[in-house]
Amino acid sequence: MLGSPPVELDGLLAREKAKGDAGEVIGSPQPGDGPLERVLAVGIGDGTPAALRKAGAGVARRSKSAASLAVDLRQAGLDAAGVRAFTEAALLASYGFTRKEKPEPRALQTITLVVSDAKRLQPAVDRAIAVARATAAARDLVNTPSLDKTPDWLADAATTLLKGLTVKVRDEKALAKEGFGGIVAVGQGSTRPPRLIEASYEPPGGSKGGKPHVVLVGKGITFDTGGLSLKPNEGMLAMKTDMGGGAAVLGTLRAVADMKLPIKVTALVAAAENMPSGSAQRPGDVIRQYGGTTVEVLNTDAEGRLVLADAIAYADRDLKADVIIDIATLTGAMPVALGKKTAGMFCSDDALAAQLSAAADASGERAWRLPLVEDYRVAMDSPIADLRNIGDPRKKLGGGSITAALFLREFAGGRSWAHLDIAGTGRSDADDDEVTKGGTGYGVRLLTAWLEALCASPKRKAA
Ligand code: BES
Ligand code: MN
Ligand code: ZN
């Protein structure tokens, strides 16, 4: 069907002054009564994965109202990484979420790739599908309004998403009994109690070649009002996104399992709703984190680090993780520093940081390493507890994303640890290449790419 050019392409491209820029799409109705309704030509720029993501997203968006799309990739000479990037982006750009009573029907049902070497490229396409599915699942979790999205709902959704894997959910009673004082304190202001979701994947036949046990920790605040340190309405509007890190680790685990990667991965989601009420924690309270560290809570809106601290300490003490990576919509300062398309990365281990930077570049989810400035650590000293949860605002110390990271580091027990602050990247204000408006699912692609790379090179152990 696609054997001969369906329209005179050269003429069309010249008429439209096509430049071939990545993502540029030129369309023409199919003349005559051929089988195709419309023919599109898409620019692939310099042919790098980044350019192919723009191309995949561009062509998928332009085809939204068609029932099916066939893409002839034979001229483009793509390798597996290129096909993966193109496919992943086309699928990701086709994502939609609606709660409209009468939504417009979603037209695009199938995308067919026409290649000359299907057998060789099939694994890349399979991985693209796994990652796009997992990202869509993460976006669904983020986009679900908090009216429905309670910590318990999130635990159920995780169990459904991760069918076939081991999922253990601790309820508020178990959390109190076992000493998860941060999750309990943040959750106690809500009528909808907190949960700790623990999901794990073990490869069929066990993990091979001395691969590290990786623990991914996600912030799962299902709504962040700030608690008694109440946010203004403006600041609260998008706070259903505050479980974006949790969604990312759940999505990543789904992708890892679908790809059957030979590595053991555990996902922890510390889920709570941060509400003000008569039972809420107060500024000035001192809480006891998992493992015993005491924290003076001077601002109840710095709640993410409190729930994460419990989960990180648990990953260290009980799971004895080889590598801990947490991901969280943690600080409003993050998008101020890096904008909305680059996450902040903090890392205690240079080798791990280099791996994560490489995975960020390869996957299209940008991250930039920021320093754990040792001199700023004193900002988190408390006169009455082991730590305080914010620096003294009167001192105008700045560096809020750094001090938050330094706080979390205290709980990692000196293990290889990284922290991704996705306060900016977790949500997008607009459709933008492969990202769609609303929850982005940021982290699924980056973390999956990192785990894939760990599995691909037998000697490259996380330090
Ligand atoms: N969830 C917010 C951070 C956030 C802000 C994410 C904007 C996405 C967009 C976090 O819990 C928070 O409130 N952080 C405070 C910390 C402060 C009180 C030290 C912040 O950044 O203002
Ligand atoms: Mn907050
Ligand atoms: Zn928050």
pLDDT single digits (tens) 94-103: 999 999 999 9
Residue 195 annotated to the active site: no
CB atoms within 10 A of CB 231: 17
| Strands (DSSP E) found in 275-403 | 285-288, 294-297, 323-328, 343-347, 367-369, 387-388
Confidence of residue 393 (pLDDT cuts 50, 70, 90): confident
Provide the pLDDT for residue 48. Answer: 97
Tell me: the pLDDT tens digits for 322-342? 999 999 999 999 999 999 999
* Res. 316: pLDDT tops 60: yes
The residues near 189 (Cβ < 8 Å, ≥ 6 apart) are 227, 228, 273, 274, 275, 276, 277, 279, 280, 281, 300
HSE (CB half, 13 Å, CA atoms) of 359?
25
Provide the pLDDT for residue 66. Answer: 92
Tell me: the pLDDT tens digits for 141-183? 999 999 999 999 999 999 999 999 999 999 999 999 999 999 9
> Which residue is catalytic, options 127, 305, 340, 366?
305
Provide the pLDDT for residue 459. Answer: 55
Q: How many angstroms separate the alpha carbon of residue 370 from the centre of ligand 1? A: 18
Of all protein residues, the one whose alpha carbon is nearest to atom 8 of ligand 1 is 423
Provide the pLDDT for residue 428. Answer: 98
Residues in the chain: 463
Evaluate whether 340 touches 407 at the Cβ level (below 8 Å).
Answer: no
Q: In this structure, which amino acid lies at residue 21?
A: D
Is ligand 1 within 6 A of the CB of residue 283?
no
* Res. 2: pLDDT tops 50: no
Q: How far is it, in rounded angstroms, from Cα 208 to Cα 211? A: 6
Confidence of residue 33 (pLDDT cuts 50, 70, 90): confident
Provide the pLDDT for residue 460. Answer: 47
The predicted model gives 248-264 an average pLDDT of 98
| Strands (DSSP E) found in 115-264 | 166-170, 195-201, 214-224
Q: How far is it, in rounded angstroms, from Cα 145 to Cα 211? A: 38
Provide the pLDDT for residue 5. Answer: 56
* Res. 190: pLDDT tops 60: yes
Q: How far is it, in rounded angstroms, from Cα 316 to Cα 423? A: 25
Sign of CA dihedral 321, 369, 354, 205: positive
* Res. 416: pLDDT tops 70: yes
> From the alpha carbon of 239, which atom of ligand 1 is closest?
1
Q: What phi-psi label fits residue 339: left (phi over 0), alpha (psi between -120 and 50 degrees) or beta?
A: left
Q: In this structure, which amino acid lies at residue 406?
A: L
Is ligand 1 within 6 A of the CB of residue 439?
no
| Residue among 240, 275, 330 whose CB has most ligand 1 atoms within 8 A, to mutate | 330
Q: In this structure, which amino acid lies at residue 328?
A: A
Q: Which helix (H) or strand (E) holds 324?
A: strand 323-328
Is ligand 1 within 6 A of the CB of residue 304?
yes
Evaluate whether 72 touches 44 at the Cβ level (below 8 Å).
Answer: no
Is ligand 1 within 6 A of the CB of residue 83?
no
Provide the pLDDT for residue 28. Answer: 86
The predicted model gives 7-32 an average pLDDT of 88
The predicted model gives 252-274 an average pLDDT of 98
Q: How many angstroms separate the alpha carbon of residue 116 from the centre of ligand 3? A: 49
Closest CA to 279 of 195, 196, 197, 184: 184
Q: How far is it, in rounded angstroms, from Cα 277 to Cα 184? A: 14
* Percent of the chain clearing pLDDT 70 (strictly above): 97
- The verdict on pTM exceeding 0.85 is yes
Q: How far is it, in rounded angstroms, from Cα 301 to Cα 192? A: 18
Q: What is the mean pLDDT of the chain?
A: 95
Tell me: the pLDDT tens digits for 435-461? 999 999 999 999 999 999 999 976 544
Q: Which two tokens stand for residue 71?
A: 């893409």
Q: How far is it, in rounded angstroms, from Cα 258 to Cα 249? A: 14
* Res. 244: pLDDT tops 50: yes
* Res. 463: pLDDT tops 60: no
| Strands (DSSP E) found in 357-403 | 367-369, 387-388
* Percent of the chain clearing pLDDT 90 (strictly above): 89
Confidence of residue 1 (pLDDT cuts 50, 70, 90): very low
Q: Which two tokens stand for residue 102?
A: 């009468």
Domains and CATH numbers, the chain: 7-114 (3.40.220.10), 144-456 (3.40.630.10)
The DSSP-derived string for 252-300 is: HHHHHHHHT-SS-EEEEEEEEEE--STTS--TTEEEE-TTS-EEEES-T
Residue for token pair 């709504």: 223
Q: How many angstroms separate the alpha carbon of residue 228 from the centre of ligand 3? A: 13
The predicted model gives 400-421 an average pLDDT of 98
Is ligand 1 within 6 A of the CB of residue 390?
yes
Provide the pLDDT for residue 166. Answer: 97
Q: How many angstroms separate the alpha carbon of residue 226 from the centre of ligand 2? A: 5
Residue 231 annotated to the active site: yes
> From the alpha carbon of 226, which atom of ligand 1 is closest?
13
Q: How many angstroms separate the alpha carbon of residue 143 from the centre of ligand 3? A: 16
Q: How far is it, in rounded angstroms, from Cα 241 to Cα 222? A: 7
- Using CA atoms in the order 13, 14, 15, 16, what is the torsion angle rounded to 10 degrees? 50
Tell me: the pLDDT tens digits for 59-114? 999 999 899 999 999 989 999 999 999 999 999 999 999 999 999 888 899 999 99
The predicted model gives 203-213 an average pLDDT of 86
The SS3 assignment for 25 reads strand
The residues near 308 (Cβ < 8 Å, ≥ 6 apart) are 182, 217, 219, 270, 326, 328, 330, 408, 411
